[in-house]
Amino acid sequence: MEQQKEKIVNTKDVSICTEHFGDRDNPAILLIAGATVSMLYWDSEFCNQLARKGYFVIRYDNRDVGKSTTYKEGMINYDIVDLANDAVNVLDGYKIEAANIMGISLGGLIAQIIAIKNPNRVNSLILMSTGIWGTPEPDVPEMDKSVIEHQAQAEHVNWNDEKEVIEYMLQNSRLMAGHKPVDYSREEKRIKEELKRAVNYRSMFNHALIQGGEIYYDRMSEINAPTLIVHGTKDKIWHFNHTKKLLADIRNSRLLKLEDTGHELNYNDWDTIVSTVSKFIK
């Protein structure tokens, strides 16, 4: 399989770093990562598995992560709609009229906005480990307390000490995991690569400041694209019960339930996800 190739997509004042896999003539899948992680969260082998199924796969860095445009820590001038527009601009940069949009966590929220705002650019929607873009359901548990406590410790990390940073981020991966085995050597390799390639690694925390997009709240019923919801039963960020609202409000939707999986793209689920996605969007 062809190795990933880098392409920078430039708009007025933003540069988005992308990589692509597979044959450009194949149907496109655009992968949108979650908060604080770069495109590397979509492991290159996972991308190649999708490409081998006959897709042209694009992954990219959101603003403030990886090699895309970054901003001063604690000060951003964009909102979540801008991130949705960035995704559409990536499609424009590749001259792709419409794609299968696959987003995880924050990327899933961005994907929902794209499907409402730019329905003509979406062939299908794959929402992973995410919730609704709208009013939270009162009976669905919030983020697990252990995750909140760990995030609060970020201000005590010496971000100039690579070893300390890697350990903190590995602990984050441990908290995200469900009950399936995790290859932490692979996780450590990804974290080191993130550190190496990031324009400003700490700017990832700007994602906690993202607001906006209220005009698209509670409009999932307007999503007409076939939608696959992929969610782990042990997710500590977006509780599995968020899937009920997604399934109820998005008319043409179905669920891939990942038993014992957490808030993660677990290596043990790749074959299942790739096979299901491939059958779903064909």
Q: What is the pLDDT of residues 168-197, one digit of tens each?
A: 999 999 999 999 999 999 999 999 999 999
Domain boundaries, the chain: 5-281
The answer to whether residue 3 scores a pLDDT higher than 80 is no
Q: What is the rounded CA–CA span in Å between residue 125 and residue 60? A: 17
From edge to edge, which strands make up the β-sheet containing 99-104?
Answer: 5-10, 15-21, 56-60, 28-32, 99-104, 122-128, 227-232, 253-258
Q: Are 51 and 34 in contact (CB under 8 A)?
A: no
Question: How high is the pLDDT of residue 25?
Answer: 97
Q: What is the mean pLDDT of residues 149-165?
A: 96
Q: What is the mean pLDDT of residues 216-229?
A: 98
**Residue 29 — very low, low, confident or very high, per pLDDT cuts 50/70/90?**
very high
pLDDT tens track for 87-97: 999 999 999 99
The answer to whether residue 2 scores a pLDDT higher than 70 is no
What global pTM score does this model have?
0.97
CATH, domain 5-281, list 3.40.50.1820, 3.30.360.10, 3.50.50.60, 3.10.290.10:
3.40.50.1820
Q: What is the mean pLDDT of residues 232-248?
A: 97
The overall average pLDDT reported for the chain is 96
